[in-house]
């Protein structure tokens, strides 16, 4: 089937927020400056954090606040945002982390790429400066190694970047097929979209870690959970490998 190119898309941004309510204001401001509607997901923040998000939603006309009463985790927050986006009629969602680590000036480039390749997932390929913690850098390398095995390809240069445009017609059904609510979500959805035959395109984006930034990444817990995700995805690949390989052969 021919892929849709340069068609009209209805795009919003999804910003999942947990303990990043202060940093999220600048992210929302930047999105608003590009006239993008925003779905801000309050992922079970404390009352003070919730209050700040309510203020932001009241201040910016194109911001819709979605509230998870309890903290579900990053994946749970993005999934809630996707459900709200589809209900509101959006076809695509730019997922942006609330911590302001990504180069927001790349938004127009990513939007253009999503319009040009509207069936495809448009992902960020992080270009880190010296501020990246070493532990996070090596964790990503290990993840990207496993993802190549899980997809039997090198099509995903980075599976953890929190800046990407989802085509919702394929991404929400994929996101509903698994329960991974925490940090493994970013990885698992890309692998599942690849299994489903969705084309994944990656473009560089600068990422920096501010010195006083809040990280929710729990080195031990999240790395153990991510290892379990890889175990599950490797088994999933074994089951699907005939299909994945057949699709590749017949596409040529």
136 binding ligand GTP? (CB under 6 A): yes
User: How is the beta sheet containing 38-43 ordered, strand by strand?
Assistant: 63-68, 38-43, 11-17, 92-96, 163-167, 121-128, 200-207
Q: Which CB, 99 or 150, lies closer to Mg ion?
A: 99
Select the span of 164-172, 196-204, 215-223, 235-243 touching ligand GTP (CB under 6 A). 215-223
Select the span of 15-23, 81-89, 118-126, 226-234 touching ligand GTP (CB under 6 A). 15-23
Let me know: does 241 contact 164? Beta carbons within 8 Å.
no
**Site map (CB under 5 A) of Mg ion, residues 14-53, x = contact:** ----------------------------------------
Residues 19-78 that bind ligand GTP (CB under 6 A): 20, 43, 71, 73-74, 77
Count of positions on this chain that bind ligand GTP (CB under 6 A): 19
99 binding Mg ion? (CB under 5 A): yes
Select the span of 150-158, 166-174, 209-217, 238-246 touching ligand GTP (CB under 6 A). 209-217
What CA–CA distances, in Å, run from 40 to 7, 82, 169? 26, 11, 20
Let me know: does 124 contact 164? Beta carbons within 8 Å.
yes
Provide, rounded to whole angstroms, the least separation between the CB of residue 165 and ligand GTP. 16
Strand 92-96 versus strand 163-167 pairing type = antiparallel
Token pair in block for residue 74: 């990053």
Across-strand partners of 200?
121
Task: Residue 204: count other Cβ atoms within 10 Å of its Cβ.
Answer: 14
Let me know: does 169 contact 193? Beta carbons within 8 Å.
no
**Site map (CB under 6 A) of ligand GTP, residues 140-179, x = contact:** ----------------------x-----------------
CA nearest neighbour of 175 among 89, 92, 82, 72 = 82
Of these partners, Mg ion, ligand GTP, none, which one is at the site of residue 98 (CB under 5 to 8 Å by kind)?
Answer: ligand GTP
Q: Which CB, 161 or 237, lies closer to ligand GTP?
A: 161
Token pair in block for residue 179: 């329960």
Q: Which CB, 66 or 183, lies closer to ligand GTP?
A: 183
Euclidean distance between CA atoms 183 and 188, whole angstroms: 9
Residue 106 is inside which H or E element, if any? Answer: none
Which residues bind to ligand GTP, rule: CB under 6 A?
Answer: 16-18, 20, 43, 71, 73-74, 77, 97-99, 101, 136, 162, 183, 215-217
Which residues bind to Mg ion, rule: CB under 5 A?
Answer: 97, 99, 101
């Amino acid at each position: 089937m021919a892929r849709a190119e340069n068609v009209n898309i209805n795009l919003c941004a999804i910003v999942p927020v947990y303990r990043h309510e202060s940093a999220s204001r600048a992210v929302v401001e930047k999105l608003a400056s590009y006239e993008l509607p925003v779905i801000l997901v309050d992922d079970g923040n404390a009352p003070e954090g919730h209050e700040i998000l309510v203020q932001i939603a009241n201040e910016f006309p194109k911001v819709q606040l979605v509230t998870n009463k309890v903290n579900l985790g990053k994946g749970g927050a993005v999934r809630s945002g996707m459900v709200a986006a589809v209900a509101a009629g959006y076809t695509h969602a730019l997922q942006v982390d609330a911590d302001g680590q990504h180069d927001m000036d790349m938004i127009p480039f990513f939007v253009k790429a999503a319009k040009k390749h509207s069936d495809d997932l448009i992902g960020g390929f992080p270009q880190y400066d010296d501020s990246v913690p070493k532990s996070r850098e090596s964790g990503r390398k290990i993840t990207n190694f496993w993802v190549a095995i899980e997809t039997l390809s090198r099509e995903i240069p980075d599976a953890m970047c929190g800046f990407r445009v989802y085509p919702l017609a394929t991404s929400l059904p994929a996101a509903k097929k698994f329960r991974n609510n925490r940090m493994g979500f970013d990885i698992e959805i890309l692998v599942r979209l690849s299994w489903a035959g969705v084309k994944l395109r990656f473009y560089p984006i600068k990422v920096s870690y501010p010195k006083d930034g809040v990280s929710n990444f729990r080195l031990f817990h999240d790395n153990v959970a991510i290892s379990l995700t890889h175990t599950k995805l490797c088994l999933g690949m074994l089951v699907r490998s005939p299909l994945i390989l057949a699709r590749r052969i017949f596409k040529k």
